[in-house]
Amino acid sequence: MTIYRATVSRVRPLTDTMVRITLTGGDLPGFVSTGVGDEYVRLFFPHGPDRRELSLPVATDTGWETPEGRPTAPMRTYTIRAARPESAEIDIDFVLHDHGVAGGWAAAARPGDPLGLNDPTGLYARPEGVTRQILVSDLTGLPALARILENTPDSLTTRAIVEVPDERSVQPLPAHPRTRVTWAHGGNGRTPSRLADLVTAALPPGTDLTDTYVWVAGETTALRSVRKHLRRTLELPTDRFKVVGYWAPGGDSWSERYEALPEGVKAELAALWENPEGDLEDVTITYEERLSGLGL
């Protein structure tokens, strides 16, 4: 694990709700992209009002830790929208929303601001032989969706569904033959996300998903029923879909509410992972059903 220090070199508004921030300099010449379309990193932000004061953690064998006596840098997860090793630059597209460390930082970002990040991890994993992909996201997943499209061979058919707050958040996507894109309006913290309904409407029970890979990213609680639909109703094999929760309404208080659960309930939840019944997706569905039942 490496922790990199980088500096903002460019800030470019993409739409009313998204800004592209280019990072360069510092340790970025050593950054190695996986090339996977949805690769993400942990970003480390300034801990206080001074945007230039960044207290980076140090890498350890298992992750990272803040040196004793130093302030802890708030950490958030973001997609590498583009990596240009020849100029040691990366682009990150930030959703501008009204609250949060990262959203607020991005809205005020300017050249010279420092930021930390770690090594990237990609999740999108389309198996060999797949001829069609279905990509679904809200605004937070749009950078990954766009990069996945960029990486897609011309032979593949793509159906993309993107939930954006309104038409002013629509962005041109990389031109690609055999691609059909639907823009739905809503969600994204303004109204409840319709991603689950959009997926069910596009892929009703009985849909033939032979040779199809499905990738879905967006509001976490809305995606619980998407995972269930893909795995239990459509019986997709676990290697032919990826559902990743990117953010949650009230996400800043989620950990506190989880920690406030009775110890017995937390132990029961932890035990689901320790003694899994079924594959990882089945355990995740059971876990998420339990969380929903607990109002989490």
Residue 6 near residue 109 (C-beta atoms within 8 A): no
Q: In a 10 Å sphere around its CB, with 0-12 CB exposed, 13-18 middle and 19+ buried, how is residue 198 labelled? A: buried
Rounded Cα gap, residues 160 and 179, in angstroms = 7
Nearest to 81 by CA among 39, 113, 31, 139: 39
**DSSP 8-state symbol, 74:** P
Stretch of residues binding ligand FAD (CB under 6 A), selected from 47-55, 64-72, 138-146, 288-296: 138-146
Give residue 174's identity as a one-letter amino acid code: P
Nearest to 270 by CA among 261, 217, 278, 279: 261
Nearest to 278 by CA among 242, 241, 245, 238: 238
Q: By C-beta, is 207 or 254 nearer to ligand FAD? A: 254
Q: By C-beta, is 100 or 276 nearer to ligand FAD? A: 100
Least separation in angstroms between CB 140 and ligand FAD = 4
Nearest 5°: CA angle at 148, between 143 and 151?
Answer: 130
Q: Is 78 in the site for ligand FAD (CB under 6 A)?
A: yes
Looking at residues 164 to 203 of the shown chain, list those that interact with ligand FAD (rule: CB under 6 A).
188-189
Least separation in angstroms between CB 131 and ligand FAD = 26
Q: Is 44 in the site for ligand FAD (CB under 6 A)?
A: no
Least separation in angstroms between CB 82 and ligand FAD = 11
Q: By C-beta, is 4 or 124 nearer to ligand FAD? A: 124
Distances (CA, A) of 99 to 2, 103, 257: 29, 6, 19
Least separation in angstroms between CB 239 and ligand FAD = 19
For residue 228, give both structure tokens: 């269930």
The rounded radius of gyration (Å) of the Cα atoms in the chain is 20
Residue 144 near residue 38 (C-beta atoms within 8 A): yes
Q: Is 48 in the site for ligand FAD (CB under 6 A)?
A: no
Least separation in angstroms between CB 178 and ligand FAD = 25
Q: By C-beta, is 260 or 262 nearer to ligand FAD? A: 260
Q: Is 33 in the site for ligand FAD (CB under 6 A)?
A: no
Looking at residues 196 to 255 of the shown chain, list those that interact with ligand FAD (rule: CB under 6 A).
244, 246-252
- Number of residues in contact with ligand FAD, rule: CB under 6 A? 27
Of the candidate residues 34, 77, 151, 157, the single one contacting ligand FAD (CB under 6 A): 77
Q: By C-beta, is 140 or 234 nearer to ligand FAD? A: 140
Q: By C-beta, is 25 or 103 nearer to ligand FAD? A: 103
Q: Who's near 85: CB < 8 A, 6+ residues apart?
A: 31, 32, 33
Rounded Cα gap, residues 175 and 37, in angstroms = 16
Q: By C-beta, is 198 or 234 nearer to ligand FAD? A: 198
Rounded Cα gap, residues 116 and 282, in angstroms = 35
Least separation in angstroms between CB 144 and ligand FAD = 6
Residue 248 near residue 193 (C-beta atoms within 8 A): no
Looking at residues 84 to 103 of the shown chain, list those that interact with ligand FAD (rule: CB under 6 A).
93-95, 97, 99-103
Q: Is 108 in the site for ligand FAD (CB under 6 A)?
A: no
Question: Which positions touch ligand FAD (CB under 6 A)?
Answer: 40, 76-79, 93-95, 97, 99-103, 139-140, 143, 188-189, 244, 246-252
